Amino acid sequence: MEYLDNLNKEQKEAVMHIDGPCLVVAGAGSGKTKVLTTRIAYLIDKGIYSSHILAITFTNKAAKEMRERVNLLTANNYAFVGTFHSFGLRIIKENYEAMGLKKNFTIIDSDDVLTIIKKVMKEKGIDVREISPSYIRNRISFIKNEMLSESDINKYFLSEIEKIAAEVYFAYEKTLRKNNVIDFDDLLKLPVELFLKNKNILDLYQEKYQYILVDEYQDTNEVQYKMIKLLSSKYRNIFVVGDQNQAIYGFRQANYKNILNFEKDYPDAEVIVLNQNYRSTTTILNVANSVIKNNVERKEVNLFSELGEGVKVKYLRCQNGLDEANLIVKEINSLLELGYKKKDIAIFYRTNAQSRIYEEALLKNSLPYKVVGSFYFYKRKEIKDLISYLKLIANNDDDVSLLRVINEPKRGIGLKSIEGLTAKAQREGTSIFEAIDKGKELEFKKMILDITEYSENLSLTELIDLVLEKSTMKEELEKIHTLEADIRLENLMEFRSITENYQNVTGSVNLQDFLEEISLIADITEHKEDNDEITLMTFHSAKGLEFKVVFMVGMEEGIMPHMNAFNEENGLEEERRLCYVGITRAKERLYLTNAKIRMLYGKDMLNPPSRFIGEIDSKYIESNIKEEAQVKKEDYYLDNAEECNYKSGDVVVHMTYGRGVVIAVDNRFVSVAFSKQYGIRKFLKNYKGLKKG
């Protein structure tokens, strides 16, 4: 058993624990996967049949890695190493009759779930425009993962919308059984129900799996917790590994209290703490420890490292978001000169919508990057939809944009209608827009024409608000009530920042010019595949990863910690754990950045620095705080548009377009005719970049 020689004292103690309950509190970077895989090999080598071993983790990737590592350590490995869902599927396959299923049952995906929900809603006369099918799908998943009984549902689902969700749930379940199908949540729910109802079957699985190992125990939800507790209740050889300080999935119904309560469930449990970190410098770990110690609900894990003190954490306090992004690029270029590779560097942010400003800064400086767990900002579906609306408003003859949004959001315009319109336009030699003359398509056409007319007297940001309202894009996402919908809505709101910045810098409210500007940035050909790329991702996506250099950006109150956390029970504690996860991804260098003034969702925000920065001992931080004049809107605009007394015929000068003549003036805008190259441009009247010549 040479593999034991590569373990420290605590790791070895955990690996050599055989019988009885054991909790391994594994701090970040302390080698928990090594402990799990080595223990499986050790059990087999000590004479325990590998077929009696069950090792459960959360992702297929983690399960594959565990299997490969075990196979390198020992031969004759027949242990079940897989995800909760793959294990649940095995149980269902072996007991389908006891669950009222036929052998040829099928598993439906989330899109199929939505289709069935819509069918049930239609049968019950429930308007999908009033209650989103995605919201109901979310509530059904909650019911199943929390193992709610009918009486529980009647007790807790009290609002009108929840009562409707419950009604659809019961009909949905009947539809599944009738069609001999199950959904993804059933892979966990049905086995637990089987064990609770049939003691003989439970006993068979308790005999089969006498040694149970669970990875990331802090991320288990109610149904997963019950599954493990039932299976291990006979032999009680339950070995769980986790770190409550890294419990960041409360929004997925993960219950971090499962790990805190392990010793209550098993009073005789052996508890082993792995606190030697093999990833980060001592300074980075001291920063992590100083932040997480402020959480009340936690187990004590004071991480230490033998990798050396390392450099201090850099705190960059910037004037605004643009300044922050540019300063990060400057630091990255310095790191590259020091010998770091781009793939060594990661930028973490709290929400997907924040990525845009860093993407643009990297693009403009020819630094390749990849966005993990999401699309590039301009390639996200909702952003492409919004841009298509804007293109169609700017050019009614744009068939490509029209075809993208004519039924987005859904407005009852079917494929046959669109094909008929396309054929008509081809016959008549016109655009599809011009060919529209009846039905729901005509309603869409009138909406576009109305917006086009209104746009003449609106700023670009006001136009965005109008499009989101009239198209019902905003309303539809607000109705859905899911995490995905909230993210998409945040991205749409962040688009307002793009128009606001564009207006601030150029003074222009010309839609055509704006679309030309963003098309240069939005071109996906800029994102060429490259093995050496900077990584952009949310804090949540960073779990389980590591980088030599980490930038934690937007470290401001209301962003990190997120504003939603202020209104949720234990919300700040989960945000602090999220911060801890971010810090402990860094191996050598860590940067914390924020801005005095930040434009987010089209609004200037004056957020104080994150409380988490204040929790760090100053001796670990090197700050570059510069007291520069704050960039304000007044730098671009006069306070009062009335002071700008333009009149038709005035000669004016613009910094980009040169000399021009005022041809129209109203309360807010001034239209100027420039040379043939630039034509007529419209500006906000109080824009300082335009002066009388």
Active site residues: 32-33, 215-216, 246, 585
Amino acid at 361: A
Tell me, rounded to whole angstroms, the distance of Cα 672 from its chain centroid.
44
Tell me how far apart the alpha carbons of residues 269 and 240 are, in angstroms, rounded to a whole number. 10
**Residue whose entry in the numeric block shows the structure tokens 């892979």:** 187
Residues 6+ apart with CB under 8 A from 442: 436
Do 646 and 665 contact (CB within 8 A), yes or no?
yes
Do 183 and 108 contact (CB within 8 A), yes or no?
yes
Tell me how far apart the alpha carbons of residues 541 and 545 are, in angstroms, rounded to a whole number. 9
- Cα dihedral 647, 653, 657, 660, rounded to 10, equals 40
DSSP character string of 290-310: HHHTT-SS------EESS---
Tell me how far apart the alpha carbons of residues 80 and 53 are, in angstroms, rounded to a whole number. 6
**Residue whose entry in the numeric block shows the structure tokens 């980075």:** 284
User: 239 is written with which tokens?
Assistant: 């070995």
DSSP label at residue 288: H
Amino acid at 498: I
Residues 175, 180, 183, CA angle at the centre, nearest 5°?
Answer: 75
Give the sign of the dihedral formed by CA 408, CA 413, CA 414, CA 420. negative
DSSP label at residue 30: S
Q: Which run of H or of E encompasses 422?
A: helix 415-428
- How much of the chain is in helix, strand and coil states, percent to nearest 5? 50, 15, 30
Tell me how far apart the alpha carbons of residues 456 and 459 are, in angstroms, rounded to a whole number. 8
Do 221 and 243 contact (CB within 8 A), yes or no?
no
DSSP label at residue 256: T
Tell me how far apart the alpha carbons of residues 168 and 153 are, in angstroms, rounded to a whole number. 12
